[in-house]
Amino acid sequence: INTSRKDLTVFFSDIKSFTTITEKLEPEVLTKLITSYLTAMTDIAIEYGGTVDKYIGDAIMIFFGDPNSNGKKRDAIACVSMALKMKKALTTLRKSWEETGLSESLDVRMGIHTDVCTVGNFGSKDRLDYTVLGNGVNLASRLESSASSNEILISENTHNLVKNEIKCNYYDTIQVKGKSHPIKTFQVVRKVQRRKANQKINAACEGFSLSIDKNRIKDIDEVISVLENSIDKLTD
């Protein structure tokens, strides 16, 4: 049995009130909806390089850092970026759920934590599963259950790695079994929007010159209006 200790970023998600939803749907409809949901989420996970560990009903466990890794920081950023794309994809999926006449909407909670975990093949002598074990996994699951509907909750460990790339807001502290101090948590907002280094536009010819510094523009609509008025006067 091959196992090792590695820095991993672990992701959990589940659908809020899923048990209630299952009781209101015919098996065929439920199967179609849950399959479309899990397929969409899995495709996004693969796109970002995540390893899909398992499905537990509606819940999904994914981790980054094994068997391939781009380094602890890049793995964490990829995981949170994946979660943001999943959150965006839910908007489309909700429409198909609404068409079934469900009063409950597709509300998903997500939790992410980065820690040293044991990864490898675990199980009985007859059946082994490639999976992750450790307190890091338990904390990721706890973050997911503590998250608000349609929100992504991450630990301070993960936040320290992604904060220059992902905007987050401090959320709360949670007490975790086996930890002597409360864990700070952060709610993911969006990717940090960076301005390109060269944002100047310069053009000139005889009788004409143009200079625009996009970094200093406060009202783009006002600039467009000035340009349009100038063109109108030029063609009068």
pLDDT per position as a tens digit, 111-163? 999 999 999 999 888 898 999 998 889 999 999 999 999 999 999 999 999 99
Inform me whether the pLDDT recorded for 215 exceeds 90.
no
> Is the alpha carbon torsion for 152, 154, 158, 162 positive or negative?
positive
Q: What is the pLDDT of residue 232?
A: 65
More reliable by pLDDT, 116 or 106:
116
Reported as a single tens digit per residue, the pLDDT across 188-203 is 999 987 666 567 788 8
Where does the pLDDT of residue 51 fall: very low under 50, low under 70, confident under 90, or very high at 90 and above?
very high
Query: How much of the chain exceeds pLDDT 70, in percent?
Result: 95
- Count CB-CB contacts under 10 A for residue 21: 21
Short-list 7, 14, 10, 45, CA closest to 146:
14
Q: What is the DSSP letter of 87?
A: H
